[in-house]
Amino acid sequence: MIIEPRMRGFICLTAHPEGAAQNVKKQIEYVKSKGAINGAKKVLVIGASTGFGLSSRITSAFGSDASTIGVFFEKPPMEGKTASPGWYNSAAFEKEAHAAGLYAKSINGDAFSKEIKEQVINLIKEDLGQVDLVIYSLASPVRVHPETGVTHRSSLKPIGQTFSNKTVDFHTGKVSEVSIEPANEEDIENTVTVMGGEDWAMWIDALKDAGVLAEGALTVAYSYIGPALTEAVYRKGTIGRAKDHLEATAFEISDKLKDIHGKAYVSVNKALVTQASSAIPVIPLYISLLYKIMKEMGLHEGTIEQMQRLYAERLYNGGEMPLDDKGRIRIDDWEMRDDVQAKVAELWKKADTDNLAEIGDLEGYRKDFYNLFGFDYENVDYKADTNEVVAIESIK
Ligand SMILES: NC(=O)c1ccc[n+]([C@@H]2O[C@H](COP(=O)([O-])OP(=O)(O)OC[C@H]3O[C@@H](n4cnc5c(N)ncnc54)[C@H](O)[C@@H]3O)[C@@H](O)[C@H]2O)c1
């Protein structure tokens, strides 16, 4: 079929397999260009198909020659209907990994469930014996609790008072005021249940009880802090409470891993265009200004540059791991630099519909967004008839 982007609100309903393959190839080339990383050799990535998780998987495989098991929740294609982008990314990743002689298998299903945890444990036992790195990179709006069966939905709301600020519709470039009503207690609890650390801890408990975590195993989950500008809706809002919980969970997991000399870390990453971040009001405007400044200053990174730096300069730097005063790894260090933030704050005051295309990197935002779905890559013929029914070589 001829596959074109079909937008609905903050999501794109179609995805292009050839573009997804380009995305994966570019990331692999970048990691290879940076040289070998003396990292883990057997890696489980939970949330492996898009964003930071996909880039983590690529960094492990092509930076450290690691065997990888990827877990994700993606929609397979059907005749006449494209898959979700993470499906095509994973198909392309496995193809490249297998061609390079690397072990790579994937499991598609709900990572919050007991069944998927069991499937992953069985696969590790059968194929790898144990894993020495577990990346936890889920971003989901909903979680069915495995013990109660209750469906929890997360929300992106301020706490305490209504938040009003500027936002942009990145499709039209229109800057407008947005007001978001504050969360109630239930919203907060639900968001913490979905995006907090409970499921991460459940994964590590299950893996450890099954004996599939190697001596000295590491586990890393991802968080975000961001500037004062987005604080009310992000770090001090419902999602921030979930991140507080996730960060606190790292210490609990580290305690439980002491006997195998394992450790849990949270890495605070940079704000980037992903499916998850596009849905948060205010963030797209912040990101388009941030991109402009960071590109001008030569500091811009995408998910692959971030993950390569996380592995090479933090997790596997051969020495002491630099941590902040709350025990977190910081690779949002360039985003949070005073000079970067001062410039963004200056632009924020001025930003409106008329000047945003010039003072912000709206074009860069849009391109990254289209790229997420495999569109807008130079080397892809989007007019060509394309096979949408692409298989992942070793899907379970
Ligand atoms: N995007 C940002 O700006 C940003 C910045 C810092 C930290 N983070 C954090 O990084 C993490 C990953 O976010 P992202 O932006 O890369 O997200 P993303 O939407 O690109 O990726 C989410 C992944 O989770 C998987 N997933 C979702 N629900 C699932 C389920 N029920 N079972 C199995 N897999 C499931 C998806 O298939 C996908 O692989 C999140 O914790 C996020 O808060 C994001």
Does the beta carbon of 224 lie inside 6 Å of ligand 1? yes
Residues 6+ apart with CB under 8 A from 143: 112, 151, 152, 154, 193, 194, 199
Confidence of residue 310 (pLDDT cuts 50, 70, 90): very high
Residue 54 CA: nearest ligand 1 atom is 39
Does the beta carbon of 106 lie inside 6 Å of ligand 1? no
Q: What is the DSSP string of 87-114?
A: HHHHHHHHHHHHHTT--EEEEES-TTSH
Angstrom distance (rounded) from CA 272 to CA 291: 9
Q: Is pLDDT at 281 greater than 90 in this prediction? A: no
pLDDT digits (tens, 9 = 90+) for 128-155: 999 999 999 999 999 999 999 999 999 9
Of 234, 291, 365, 377, the active-site residue reads: 234
Residue 162: burial class (beta carbons within 10 Å; 0-12, 13-18, 19+): exposed
Helices (H), the chain: 17-33, 51-64, 85-99, 114-123, 185-195, 198-209, 228-231, 238-256, 275-278, 283-296, 303-310, 338-350, 356-359, 362-372
Mutate to test the pocket of ligand 1, among 198, 224, 288 (most ligand atoms within 8 A of CB): 224
Angstrom distance (rounded) from CA 200 to CA 267: 14
Q: Cα torsion for 118, 124, 248, 184, to the nearest 10°? A: -40
Angstrom distance (rounded) from CA 314 to CA 108: 30
Longest dimension (CA), the chain: 59
Does the beta carbon of 137 lie inside 6 Å of ligand 1? yes
Angstrom distance (rounded) from CA 23 to CA 203: 29
Exposure string (b/e) for 101-125, b if CB count within 10 Å is 16 or more?
Answer: ebbbbbbbbbbbbeebbeebbebbe
pLDDT digits (tens, 9 = 90+) for 172-195: 999 999 999 999 999 999 999 999
What is the structure's pLDDT at 279?
Answer: 81
Mutate to test the pocket of ligand 1, among 58, 72, 117, 265 (most ligand atoms within 8 A of CB): 72
Q: Cα torsion for 187, 192, 193, 195, to the nearest 10°? A: 120
Confidence of residue 160 (pLDDT cuts 50, 70, 90): very high
End-to-end CA distance of the chain: 26
Angstrom distance (rounded) from CA 333 to CA 229: 17
Residue 110 CA: nearest ligand 1 atom is 32
Span from the CA of 48 to the centroid of ligand 1 (angstroms): 8
Hey, whose CA ends up nearest to atom 10 of ligand 1? 222
Question: What's the mean per-residue pLDDT of the chain?
Answer: 96
What is the structure's pLDDT at 171?
Answer: 87
Confidence of residue 395 (pLDDT cuts 50, 70, 90): confident
Contact yes or no for 72/36 (Cβ under 8 A): no
Does the beta carbon of 290 lie inside 6 Å of ligand 1? no
Span from the CA of 102 to the centroid of ligand 1 (angstroms): 24
Tell me if residue 286 is catalytic. Answer: no
Q: Is pLDDT at 396 greater than 80 in this prediction? A: no
Confidence of residue 6 (pLDDT cuts 50, 70, 90): very high
Span from the CA of 213 to the centroid of ligand 1 (angstroms): 23
Determine the average pLDDT of the residues in 107-132: 98
Hey, whose CA ends up nearest to atom 28 of ligand 1? 140
Determine the average pLDDT of the residues in 166-171: 90
Numbers of helices and strands, H then E, in the chain = 14, 13
Residue reference for tokens 């930076």: 63
Q: Worst-scoring range by mean pLDDT, 60-64, 133-137, 168-172, 335-339?
A: 168-172
Does the beta carbon of 50 lie inside 6 Å of ligand 1? yes
Contact yes or no for 299/54 (Cβ under 8 A): no
pLDDT digits (tens, 9 = 90+) for 253-277: 999 999 999 999 999 999 999 877 8
**pTM of the predicted structure, to 2 decimals:** 0.98
